[in-house]
């Protein structure tokens, strides 16, 4: 069994410890939470990557690689992750426990130290990041921005967000704009780094066997001095209903299969407010499993697609339906997806479907406890929402959701924007 402990390590610094002996490793994260978008967006997206290049002690990739190898292949990877209207930048790490590493000692302690060195004590030249590292990471960031279109499934979702949330902070690109990225300089990047350290909400995470007090002491010893000013408080902007009648955008791309992405507003139901347990039940019943209405009708009955699903972006209060279909089946697929939603809104679902959705969710929350990386994502999302709900509490909430509440959640759902990427490639 596991214990979750939440500790405040200083002004604007929170640590979540999941204490359990069941894993053979420890999972760690140190992230700076900052607002999405703004003039620093591209700098922020480049930051963890340039910090990963060298610390004051280990000045280049070779030195860092060798150190990680000696820690039995501890892994420390840069993260740039959207969480609602926030972006989390920092590092995610894991290392195996000493008792499974012959001849090794204090692997976790050393990994925390290296992780924190990367975040707080970077390799500098003349007081700034090195020009060479900056040039390289600027180019890598431009590559990452361009590469977002390489996977058409992901790109369709991104385009939907561009169109649907164009007027919202949420619609800002994760990595900043190409123009911002091209303008990155060693000096500007370093200044953005100092600002980020001053302003950010710092979210730390540990999952493993070490007692929380020891973990807290390890992280606390590395924290930078910060002026006790105001730190970023993660914010979420929920738009309960579409502001216009449903919008539709169709683009042509060089793919063989059409990609359909539909964005719905949830009537304001999100992690921080409204009946989110009922919404989750509705989403699973509608399109969240292989016994959902979308899977059974759009795929199994009508053979329109291989994949079709509905996801609940709970932090923001959006539901997204996503499918790959033949180009000429756009109207048929879209109509069927909406018809299934209507059936949910009319309460046209069986008790068996209700219970299947409930069991799927309970199973999912329990399974979360077996995956340290899934728990890491869970707790960062909780931090971004400003909530602290245990997965076990989610299970209790799901148990009592009634049919009327599921219908109400479905009725709160309204289509905002449909995006279709039409394939132009020859088959």
Partner 1 sequence: MNNAALHERVEMRTLDNGLRICYLPKSGFSKTFAILAANYGSVDQSFTLAGRRYDMPAGVAHFLEHKMFEDEDGNALQKFAKTGASPNAFTGQDMTAYHFSCTERFAENLEILLKFVFTPYFTMENVAKERGIIAQEIRMMDDTPVWRTYTGLFRGLFHEHPARVPIAGSVESIAEITPEVLYTCHRAFYSPRNMALIVCGNADLSDICSMAARYSPKDAATIGERHYGKRRDAVAAPLVRQEMSVSQPQMFLGIKDKPLEEGESRLRRRILGELGVSLLCGDNAPLFAELYERRLINRNFDGDYKIIPEGATALFSGESRDPDTVRGSIEQEIARLAANGIDAARFSRTKKALYGLYLRVLDQPEEYARQQAEAVFAGENYLDFAVLFDTICEEDVRILFARWAQQDRSSLSVTEPKLTKEECTV
Site for partner 1 in 127-166 (CB under 8 A): 136, 139-140, 143, 146-147, 149-153
- Contacts to partner 1 from residues 9-48, by CB under 8 A: 20-25
Q: Nearest 5°: phi and psi at 129?
A: -65, 155
Q: Are strands 247-253 and 414-423 parallel, antiparallel or unpaired?
A: parallel
Q: For partner 1, which is the closer residue by CB, 80 or 239?
A: 80
In the complex with partner 1, the residue whose CB is nearer, 58 or 384, is 58
Shortest reach from residue 149's CB to partner 1, in Å: 6
Rank residues 7 and 75 by Cβ distance to partner 1 and give the closer one: 75
Nearest to 361 by CA among 283, 253, 270, 259: 283
Nearer to partner 1, 237 or 300 (CB): 300
- Please report which residue ranges of 288-402 form alpha helices under DSSP H: 293, 330-345, 351-368, 372-385, 391-399
What is the CB-side half-sphere exposure of residue 68 using CA atoms within 13 A? 19
From CA 86, how far away is CA 88, in angstroms rounded? 7
Neighbours of 22 (CB within 10 A): 12
Among 364, 406, 412, 419, binds partner 1 (CB under 8 A): 364
- 320 beta partners: 263, 311
Tell me which of 98, 326, 332, 405 binds partner 1, using CB under 8 A: 326
387 makes contact with partner 1 (CB under 8 A): no
Among 257, 309, 382, 413, binds partner 1 (CB under 8 A): 257
Pick 241 or 393: Cβ nearer partner 1: 393
Stretch 57-96 residues interacting with partner 1 (CB under 8 A) = 60-62, 65-66, 68-70, 72-75, 77-78, 94-96
Cross-strand partners of 95: 26
Residue closer to partner 1 (CB basis): 44 or 316: 44
Give the residue, chosen from 269, 315, 356, 384, that forms a contact with partner 1 under the rule CB under 8 A: 356
* Helices vs. strands in the chain: H and E counts, helices first: 15, 11
Q: Which stretch binds partner 1 (CB under 8 A): 30-38, 81-89, 120-128, 303-311?
A: 303-311
| Cβ closest to partner 1, residue 289 vs residue 407 | 289
> What's the min distance (Å) between Cβ of 169 and partner 1?
26
For partner 1, the binding residues in 270-299 under the rule CB under 8 A are: 289-291, 296, 299
User: Which H/E stretch holds residue 91?
Assistant: strand 86-96
- Residues binding partner 1: number (CB under 8 A): 77
Count CB atoms within 10 A of the CB of residue 126.
9
Ranges of beta strands (E only) in 138-267 are 201-208, 247-253, 258-265
* Shortest reach from residue 306's CB to partner 1, in Å: 4
What is the closest distance, in whole angstroms, from the C-beta atom of residue 409 to partner 1 in the complex? 19
Q: How does DSSP classify residue 246?
A: P
228 binds partner 1 (CB under 8 A): no
Alpha helices by DSSP H, listed for 71-130, are 107-120
Strand partners, 32: 89, 202
CB of 288 to partner 1, least distance (A): 11
User: Least distance in Å: CB of 224 to partner 1?
Assistant: 25
Contact 93, 111 (CB under 8 A): yes
Q: Of these, 101, 191, 220, 332, which contacts partner 1 (CB under 8 A)? A: 101
Judged by CB under 8 A, the chain residues 156 through 215 that form the site for partner 1 are none
Is 252 among the residues that bind partner 1 (CB under 8 A)? no
């Amino acid at each position: 069994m596991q214990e979750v402990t939440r500790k405040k390590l200083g002004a604007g610094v929170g640590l979540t410890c999941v204490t359990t002996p069941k894993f053979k490793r420890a999972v760690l994260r140190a992230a700076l939470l900052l607002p999405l978008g703004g003039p620093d967006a591209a700098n922020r997206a480049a930051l963890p990557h340039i910090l990963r290049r060298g610390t004051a002690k280990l000045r280049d990739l070779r030195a860092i690689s060798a150190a990680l190898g000696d820690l039995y292949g501890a892994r420390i990877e840069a993260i740039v992750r959207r969480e609602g209207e926030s972006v989390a930048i920092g590092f995610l790490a894991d290392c195996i426990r000493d008792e499974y590493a012959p001849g090794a000692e204090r692997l976790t302690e050393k990994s925390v130290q290296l992780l924190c060195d990367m975040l707080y004590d970077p390799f500098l030249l003349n007081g700034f990041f090195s020009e060479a590292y900056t040039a390289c990471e600027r180019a890598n960031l431009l590559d990452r921005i361009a590469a977002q279109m390489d996977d058409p499934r992901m790109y369709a979702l991104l385009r939907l967000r561009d169109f649907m949330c164009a007027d919202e902070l949420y619609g800002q690109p994760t990595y900043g704009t190409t123009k911002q990225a091209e303008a990155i300089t060693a000096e500007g990047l370093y200044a953005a780094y100092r600002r980020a350290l001053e302003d950010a909400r710092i979210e730390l995470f540990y999952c493993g066997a070490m007692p929380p007090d020891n973990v807290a002491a390890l992280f606390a010893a590395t924290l930078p001095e910060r002026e006790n000013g105001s730190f970023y408080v993660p914010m979420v902007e929920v738009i309960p209903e579409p502001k216009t009648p449903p919008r539709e955008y169709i683009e042509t791309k060089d793919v063989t299969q059409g990609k359909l992405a539909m964005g719905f507003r949830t009537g304001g139901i999100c992690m921080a407010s409204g009946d989110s347990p009922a919404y989750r039940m509705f989403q699973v019943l509608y399109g969240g499993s292989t016994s959902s209405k979308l899977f059974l009708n759009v795929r199994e009955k009508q053979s329109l697609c291989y994949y079709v699903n509905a996801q609940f972006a709970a932090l923001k209060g959006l539901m997204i339906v996503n499918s790959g279909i033949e180009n000429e089946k756009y109207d048929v697929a879209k109509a069927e997806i909406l018809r299934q939603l209507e059936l949910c809104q009319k309460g046209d679902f069986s008790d068996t479907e209700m219970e299947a959705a409930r069991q799927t969710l309970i199973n999912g929350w329990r399974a979360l406890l077996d995956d340290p990386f899934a728990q890491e994502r869970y707790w960062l999302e909780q931090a971004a929402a400003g909530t602290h709900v245990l997965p076990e509490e989610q299970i209790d909430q799901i148990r009592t959701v009634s049919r009327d509440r599921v219908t109400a959640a479905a009725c709160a759902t309204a289509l905002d924007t449909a995006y279709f990427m039409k394939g132009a490639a020859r088959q």
